[in-house]
Amino acid sequence: MFRDYIYLDMNRITSYGRKCGMDKSIVDKKENCATEEMYFEEFEYKIEKEHIDKDFLILSEEEDKECINRIQKQMIIRFEKELLIPNEFGQVEFLKKVLSNDSVKNSLTSTLSNNDTEIPKEFLSSIIKDRGSVPAYFNIDDYKIYTNLQGEYFRNIEYADFEENVGELVTVVAKVESVCKIKKDIVLYDIYKDLLGLSREMRRSIISNDNSNVPEEIKIYGQGIKVSILAIYK
């Protein structure tokens, strides 16, 4: 099977692989993409064959509602859905609102053109590489499966390459961190924490002194399933 890997968190994969009796030394001795991908595929095959319906759940299009109700914390799930990121993440106007706050102006160094409608890709790339994460989510029935993708686990691609996959069908393997069956606002991204990398103390100081109504968070609404992504591929 030929796959194009978009994201692969080998730290989590090898950790869970050891629990399944897999030998991580193979990856340690041959640190290259092909070996890591083979390790993941072996892990995926092993957990599907040995732990199906207990620790591993495959969500199918025909059984979305039935499957989604069986999801529990700590499960590993696999599904195929459109990869989505919130529109606000790539909009210059949104960032300008954040930068209009004097307390955070100096936290970012980037020149944005007044005529631009999107944040320059190289700027987002530097944020993701240096700071950490991209908010992402998937719609399954009434649920939002959501996460923050860590830039260091992008598979030899930059943010601009990753963005080309937004709106496309991808296969996702993820570990469930929490399940909430109540519809409510879900915080996908904390601007001060996830974008600017500010400490809790600094965030509190900014929020307490802020009268500009700058949005602090990017949110979506629905029933939420928070996950940690192990792999995304096509």
- Mean pLDDT (the chain) is 77
Nearest to 134, CA basis, from 165, 105, 159: 159
196 vs 130, residue with greater confidence? 196
User: pTM, whole model, 2 decimals?
Assistant: 0.77
Q: Mean pLDDT, to the nearest integer, of 28-36?
A: 63
DSSP class of residue 154?
B
Q: What is the pLDDT of residues 107-166, one digit of tens each?
A: 444 444 444 555 555 555 555 544 467 899 999 888 999 999 988 899 887 777 888 899
Interatomic CA distance for residues 212 and 111, integer angstroms:
21
State the pLDDT confidence band at 80, using cuts at 50, 70 and 90: very high
Residue 212, token pair as written in the block: 């500009």
DSSP class of residue 52?
B
Q: How far is CA 157 from CA 151, 161, 164, 224, 233, in A?
A: 9, 6, 11, 28, 13
Neighbours of 184 (CB within 10 A): 10
Q: Mean pLDDT, to the nearest integer, of 213-223?
A: 79
State the pLDDT confidence band at 171, using cuts at 50, 70 and 90: very high
Residue 71 amino acid letter: I
pLDDT at 79 over 90: yes
79 vs 62, residue with greater confidence? 79
Tell me which range, 23-32, 37-46, 86-95, is most confidently predicted by mean pLDDT.
37-46
Is residue 59 within 8 A of residue 67, CB to CB? The reply is yes
DSSP class of residue 193?
I
Q: What pLDDT was estimated at residue 20?
A: 80
Q: Which helix (H) or strand (E) holds 42?
A: helix 33-51
Residue 55 amino acid letter: D
Q: How far is CA 90 from CA 62, 120, 144, 145, in A?
A: 33, 9, 20, 20
Residue 223, token pair as written in the block: 């029933």
Q: What pLDDT was estimated at residue 90?
A: 67
